[in-house]
Amino acid sequence: MKNKVLEFNKLVNTIFNEDSVPLHRPVFGSNEEKYVQQTIKSSFVSSVGSFVEQFENNISTHTKSNYSIATVNGTSALLVCLQLAGVKQEDEVLTQALSFVATSNSISYLKAKPIFIDVDIDTMGMSPLALTLFLEEFCEIRDEGTFNKNTGKRIAACLPMHTFGFMCRIDQISKICKSWNIPLIEDAAEALGSSFKGKFAGTFGMFSAFSFNGNKIITSGGGGMILTQNKNLAIQAKHITTTAKKSTNWEYFHDQVGYNFRMPNLNAALGCAQLESLSSFIKNKKKLYDIYCESLPLIGYAVVPIPKNLNWNYWMISIELENKREKDLFLKETNKNGIMTRPIWDLLFKLPMYEDCQRDGQKNALALEDKIINIPSSARG
Ligand SMILES: *Cc1c(COP(=O)(O)O)cnc(C)c1O
Residues 178-235: pLDDT tens digits? 999 999 999 999 999 999 999 999 999 999 999 999 999 999 999 999 999 999 999 9
96 CA distance to ligand 1 middle (Å): 14
Closest-CA residue, ligand 1 atom 2, reads 189
User: How far, in Å, from the CA of 300 to the mean position of ligand 1?
Assistant: 32
- Indicate the top mutation candidate among 24, 213, 217, 270 to test ligand 1's pocket, ranked by most ligand atoms within 8 A of CB: 213
Distance 224 CA to ligand 1 centre (A): 9
Cα(100)–Cα(209) distance, integer angstroms: 13
Q: Give percent above pLDDT 70 in the chain.
A: 100
Whole-number Å distance between alpha carbons of 147 and 141? 6
Q: Which residues pair with 200 in a beta bridge?
A: 195
Structure confidence at residue 250 (pLDDT): 87
Q: What's the pTM?
A: 0.97
In terms of Cα–Cα distance, which of 89, 24, 30 is closest to 273?
30
Q: What is the structure's pLDDT at 337?
A: 96
**Distance, CA of 131 to CA of 134 (rounded, Å):** 5
How many whole angstroms from 76 Cα to the centroid of ligand 1?
A: 9
Question: Cα-flanking dihedrals φ and ψ of residue 220, to 5°?
Answer: -115, 25
Question: What angle separates helix 265-276 from helix 278-295, to the nearest 10 degrees?
Answer: 60
- Classify 81 as helix, strand or coil: helix
Return contacts of 284-289, CB within 8 angstroms, 24+ apart.
Answer: 284/379, 284/380, 284/381, 285/217, 285/313, 285/314, 285/315, 285/317, 285/377, 285/379, 286/314, 287/380, 288/15, 288/314, 288/317, 288/377, 288/378, 288/379, 288/380, 289/314, 289/317
Q: Are 268 and 55 in contact (CB under 8 A)?
A: yes
Atom number, ligand 1, closest to the C-alpha of residue 215: 1
Q: How far apart are CA 119 and CA 94, in angstroms?
A: 12
Across 123-135, b (16+ Cβ under 10 Å) vs e yields bbbbbbebbbebb
Ligand 1 atom having least distance to the Cα of 216: 1
Q: Which residues lie across from 5 on neighbouring strands?
A: none
Tens of pLDDT along 152-169?
999 999 999 999 999 999
**Would the pLDDT of 381 be above 70?**
no
Task: Compute the half-sphere exposure of residue 329: CA atoms within 13 Å on the CB side of its CA.
Answer: 13
At 42, give phi and psi (nearest 5°).
-80, -10
Question: Which residue has a Cα nearest atom 10 of ligand 1?
Answer: 102
The set of residues, in sequence order, having a beta carbon less than 8 Å from that of 270 and lying 6+ positions away, is: 32, 35, 36, 219, 220, 221
Could you identify the atom of ligand 1 that is nearest to the CA of residue 76?
9
Atom 5 of ligand 1: nearest residue by CA position: 74
Is residue 28 predicted with pLDDT exceeding 90?
Answer: yes
Strand duo 92-95 + 155-159: pairing? parallel
Residues with CB under 6 A from ligand 1: 73-75, 99-100, 102-103, 161, 187, 189-190, 211, 213, 224
For the CA of 161, the nearest atom of ligand 1: 13
88 three-state secondary structure: coil
Written as one letter, the residue type at 222 is G
Radius of gyration of the chain (CA): 21
CA distances from 359 to 90, 314, 365 (A): 17, 30, 11
Query: Residue 157: enclosing H or E segment and its boundaries?
Result: strand 155-159
Mean pLDDT of the chain: 97
Report which ligand 1 atom has the smallest distance to the Cα of 99.
13
Residue 2: per-residue pLDDT: 75
**Rounded to the nearest whole angstrom, what is the distance from the C-alpha of residue 31 to the centroid of ligand 1?**
25
Compute, in angstroms, the gap from residue 219 CA to the centroid of ligand 1: 12
Distance 284 CA to ligand 1 centre (A): 23
First CA to last CA across the chain, in angstroms? 32
Distance 298 CA to ligand 1 centre (A): 34
- Give the residue-averaged pLDDT of 316-336: 96
For the chain, percent of residues with pLDDT exceeding 90: 97
186 CA distance to ligand 1 middle (Å): 12
Q: What are the tens digits of pLDDT across the range 240-290? A: 999 999 977 889 999 999 999 999 999 999 999 999 999 999 999 999 999
For atom 6 of ligand 1, the residue with the nearest CA is: 74
